[in-house]
Amino acid sequence: MAKIIPFKAVRPTRDKVSLVAARSYQSYTKEQLESRLRDNPFSFLQIVNPGYRYDKEISGEARYNLVRNRYLEFKEDDIFVQDNTACFYVYKIVDRDKQEFNGIVAAASAEDYEKDIIKKHEDTIEYREIIFKEYLKTVGFNAEPVLLTYPDNNIIAKIIENTQKHRAEFEFTTTYRDTHYLWKVEDKKTIATISAEFEKMKTIYIADGHHRSASSYLLYKDLKDANPDHHGDENYNFFMSYLLPESDLRIHEFNRIVKDLNGLSKEEFLIQLDTIYRIENRGLHPYKPSKKHHFSMYLDGEFYSLYLRKTSYDIETSLDALDSQILYKTILKPILGIEDLRNDHRISYINGKKDIVNIKSSVDSGEYVVGFGMVPVDIEEMKQIADDGLKMPPKSTFIEPKLRSGVTIYEF
C-alpha cells in the first residue's frame, strides 16, 4: 500500500513564482543559461549555479555549500516562504499543444521505494546516485518532484476537479508557453481521503526521475542510520513527488542516430539487416512506423521501413518485446558494435516529440550516418517491465509533463 503524505512546501511568493520557476539547468544552452543568470535575479538558476556570482566554475562540496547559501538568502529575502500547515498541492499544466496534466504534489515514502511498492523501469548509474545524494544531504532540500504515476482513481479525480473550481495560488505561463497552476489542499478530511485512496494502491510507478528517487532513498538510509532516535516520520523518510494518473501521462519514443556503420559499407550493412528485417526502400518519402516491431531508418539520403522477421527473434520476456531492446539486440549491438548505450559517443538520441525529419537533418549534416525511429512505449509495457523486475535500455521513453524547479520545495 502506497504511503503518500502532505508536507509544508517552501514556495515562491505569488508575485515572484513566474520569475523563480526554471527548467533543469542541464536543459539550457550555455547562451540561454548566461542570459537568465544575467537578467533574472529571482531565477532558481541563481541558486543552483552559485559560481555565476564569482564568474567561476565551482563543483563538489564547495558548490553544494554555496547552493545552500543562495537558498537561505532567497528565504531571508522572503522570495521563498514556507506554508504553516502540511498540504497536498493540486498542480495543473497546460502545454503549448493544449495537453492538460492534472496531478498532486506530495511526499512519497522512501520505504515504499525500498519495498518495491514504488516500482522502477529504468537502470540508474551508481555514481550519479551517490553524487546527488551528497548534494541533497548538504543543501537540505529538493526542488523538483519525481514524476510518479498511479491508476486512474475517480475519488482523487473528483477532488482535483473540485479544488480547481477555486482561485489558484499560482498561475503563470513560461516562455515555452506552458501554463502552470497550483492549488493548496488544506482541509484535513480531504487530505485524509487522498491518503486513504493511495493506501489502497498496491503499486505506483516512477515515470520520470529514477536517479532522484534512488538518491532520495540513499539519503534516507544514511540519515536513518545516523539518527539514534529515528522514528519514521522525519522528513528524510519521504521525497517530493508529482503524482499523475496514468491517463494523463504522455510517453514519446527516443529515436537513435549513429555516427558510422562500424566499418561496413552501405550494401554490407543492408545485407546484414536483411537477415532480421523485411526492408523496403521508401526513397525520399519520410516514413514513421505505426506498429510495434516496425522501425524507420534513414540512410544515405533515403528512408527505409524495417519490419522484424518473427522467425529471426525470440521473445521470452516483456523486455524482449520492447522495441528499444529489439533495436539494441538486433542492430545496435551485433551489427553496429554499440555495447554501452549510455556512454558510447557514437550514438545520440532525439526525443520523438520532434518530427521524424530531425533524424534526416542530423544525418544529412554529415555528423551521423544512420538514424532509426520507432513507436512509443505504452503505459502497460512500462508497467509490465517494472512488475517483472526488468529494466528498459537507456533512453527508451521521453515522458511528459516536464516539471519546473523551484515551484514547490521539500526540506529534509
C-alpha cell at 387: 512488475
Asked whether residue 354 carries a pLDDT value surpassing 90, the answer given is: no
Q: What value does the mean pLDDT of the chain take?
A: 96
If you average pLDDT over residues 43-68, what whole number do you get? Answer: 93
Location of C-alpha cell 516562504: 81
Residues 120 and 268 in one domain: no
Residues 265 and 239 in one domain: no
The domain in which residue 21 lies consists of 4-251+400-411
Residues 139 and 81 in one domain: yes
Nearest to 212 by CA among 151, 122, 150, 149: 122
Q: Quick one: pLDDT at residue 333?
A: 98
Bridge partner list, 277: 308
With bands split at pLDDT 50, 70 and 90, how would you rate the model's confidence at 54?
Answer: confident
User: Is residue 187 domain-resident?
Assistant: yes
Q: Quick one: pLDDT at residue 310?
A: 86
Residues 200 and 320 in one domain: no
Location of C-alpha cell 535575479: 41
If you average pLDDT over residues 298-319, what whole number do you get? Answer: 96
The 10 Å Cβ neighbour count of residue 145 is 29
Over residues 14-27, the pLDDT tens digits come to: 999 999 999 988 88
If you average pLDDT over residues 74-87, what whole number do you get? Answer: 98
Beta strands in 25-166 (DSSP E): 80-82, 88-94, 100-109, 118-119, 141-142, 146-150
If you average pLDDT over residues 386-395, what whole number do you get? Answer: 94
Over residues 122-170, the pLDDT tens digits come to: 988 888 999 999 999 999 999 999 999 999 999 999 999 999 999 999 9
If you average pLDDT over residues 79-91, what whole number do you get? Answer: 98
Residues 117 and 246 in one domain: yes
If you average pLDDT over residues 380-401, what whole number do you get? Answer: 95
Nearest to 251 by CA among 402, 394, 103, 390: 402
Residues 242 and 359 in one domain: no
If you average pLDDT over residues 391-404, what whole number do you get? Answer: 93
Residues 235 and 262 in one domain: no
Q: Quick one: pLDDT at residue 224?
A: 97
Predicted TM-score of the model (pTM): 0.93
If you average pLDDT over residues 268-295, what whole number do you get? Answer: 96
User: Is residue 343 domain-resident?
Assistant: yes
Over residues 174-188, the pLDDT tens digits come to: 988 999 999 999 999
Residues 58 and 176 in one domain: yes
If you average pLDDT over residues 359-381, what whole number do you get? Answer: 96
Residues 227 and 353 in one domain: no
User: Is residue 276 domain-resident?
Assistant: yes
User: Is residue 182 domain-resident?
Assistant: yes
Are 4 and 195 a contacting pair, CB within 8 Å?
yes
Over residues 198-247, the pLDDT tens digits come to: 999 999 999 999 999 999 999 999 999 999 999 999 999 999 999 999 99
Q: Quick one: pLDDT at residue 26?
A: 81
* Portion of the chain with pLDDT greater than 90, in percent: 90
Could you tell me where the DSSP H helices lie in 45-187? 45-48, 60-76, 110-114, 126-139, 154-163
Residues 167 and 233 in one domain: yes
How does DSSP classify residue 22? B
User: Domain tally for the chain?
Assistant: 2
Residues 216 and 308 in one domain: no
Q: Quick one: pLDDT at residue 55?
A: 85
Residues 91 and 179 in one domain: yes
User: Is residue 24 domain-resident?
Assistant: yes
Q: For residue 26, which amino acid is it?
A: Q
Q: Quick one: pLDDT at residue 170?
A: 96
